[in-house]
Structure 1
Amino acid sequence: HKPNLKGKMGPPPVIPSVPRPVNLDDYKSHASRILPKNAYDYYASGANDQITLSENRAAFERLRIVPRVLRDVSSVDCSTTLLGTARVKYPICVAPTAMQRMAHDDGEKATARACAGSGGGNGEDATLMCLSSWSTTSLEDVMNAAPSGGGPKWFQLYVYKSRDVTLDLVR
């Protein structure tokens, strides 16, 4: 046993038998083991020639986080207003993700609860969630899944040539 941060002996560390995923490749590997094949194939692929999927991955690989050491971070405020409608604690949101119930029985409701929980239960501090046009859960059920509505929600709307189809998505 090693001393903990307070200098006291603590219990031996518990080492999980399966390492937790920490990057995209780890999550893909984990998902391939636990999801049904049709669900994994849906989530791991892109439309047509998967050009957008490839470009998105390449764009993220170009990003670099450059740490600035020895800076005073005691009063950092990342809050902002997105598109003039949603006040958020930080400019991060859950993008529209279709067919979430293929991966989990609670699907979008679980995502709404996770977004609400990111702010410690305070709707104003919650992560913004954008519900997909191809959600497997109604907007009303998603709103009711999290306490106090769980913070801001947006809806991805595909506008079709047929106004009736578009109207059905809104309803």
Structure 2
Amino acid sequence: MKLAIYCGSSEGRDPGHVERTAAVGRALAQRGIGIVYGGGRVGLMGTLADAALAEGGTVIGVIPKALEAREVAHRGLTELHVVADMHERKALMAELSDGFIALPGGIGTLEELFESWTWGLLGFHRKPCALLNAAGYYDELCRFIDKMVDEGFLQPHFRDMLVISSELEILLKAFETYQPPVRKGG
């Protein structure tokens, strides 16, 4: 199994983000779960990759040519794919992965997760999507997603497609038994 992990190209202000991201990298490697990520050596992306590699894990990076220098492409990965643009990056990450998890990050992290979730909602793939809400980082986003349901912009069965937990183990167990919802219309 390989999972796409979306996370920040910076470390954020809370040192706990770095510690928790490293723990995710180690845990996935120890379970034999490969990581597909944005290919950077900086920020949480680099932390994730380095921690998994230190445990002997498989780490595949996918980075657009234009970001290769800015995100400082990680040259010590199992595989590094340099692609033309962000569209190709996301498509290749999706193709290489069996599921998607967002760790803390900024708008790029959210954009990648929301696109993967949307593709699943539209039936373009049947893979699970998740938020690892460690230390409550995504609490406000989770409330907003629930508001989309309350306001009628997101059907509850599509909301339920996004697995949310503060514990990696819970997400991985949910991924093992994940079944996408039966489409009931838009």
Q: Would the TM-score normalized by the shorter structure come out above 0.5? A: no
Q: Which has the larger radius of gyration?
A: 1
TM-score band, normalised by shorter chain: 0.3 to 0.5
TM-score by length of 2: 0.32
The answer to which structure, 1 or 2, has the higher relative contact order (CA under 8 A, 6+ apart) is: 2
More helix by share: 2
